[in-house]
Amino acid sequence: MIYGTEEIHRAIPHRPPFLFVDRVLEVDDKHIVAEKFLSPDLDFFKGHYPHFPVMPGVLTCESIFQAGAILLSQQGGMMESGSVPVLARIRDARFKRLVRPGDMVALTVELEDKVGMAFFMKGKATVNGELAVSVSFTCALAKTPEPMGA
């Protein structure tokens, strides 16, 4: 099943300009494969080395984390329960290749373990089959505040 923008918006609270997943190609309880196309007109390319634009490594990691959040949305209706995934730990981030305008970034995340409301994952971003970033990370679920007047 391929997820587009509408399904991604239902799965996670991120929205443009801070949404770094365009579509989900496959997902189950333990893994996800998603994509992000890096349009050359994205704002961060204008200022992150204007004469040699590169996607900031932290944003490549954020793409992986967002794919992980979509994976977690498969774990039982986080959005409906008033919880959102928040990053709790980043480990072993490794940057192997530059990510540039026009690249299609493939994002793969695996759920390795769950302890209570902590989810231990590892992910990677690749471009044309070449590893760009790998990272291990942990997400926890945080309750969202009730809207004012509720």
Q: Give residue 28's Cα distance to chain centre.
A: 16
Burial of 73 (0-12, 13-18, 19+ CB in 10 A): buried
Contact call for residues 121 and 137 (beta carbons, < 8 A):
yes
Q: What pLDDT score was predicted for residue 62? A: 98
Q: How far apart are the first and last CA of the chain?
A: 36
Alpha helical stretches, state H, 5-147: 5-11, 43-47, 57-73
In angstroms, the CA 150 to CA 144 distance is 13
Active-site residue, selected from the candidate residues 9, 14, 31, 48: 48
Q: Give residue 144's Cα distance to chain centre.
A: 19
The predicted-structure confidence for 38-83, as pLDDT tens digits, reads as follows: 999 999 999 999 999 999 999 999 999 999 999 999 876 555 567 8
| Three-state secondary-structure class, residue 126 | strand
The predicted-structure confidence for 76-133, as pLDDT tens digits, reads as follows: 655 556 788 899 999 999 999 999 999 999 999 999 999 988 999 999 999 999 999 9
pLDDT averaged over every residue in the chain:
92
| Three-state secondary-structure class, residue 70 | helix
Query: The whole model's pTM is what?
Result: 0.93
Q: What pLDDT score was predicted for residue 148? A: 47
| Three-state secondary-structure class, residue 81 | coil
31 is catalytic: no
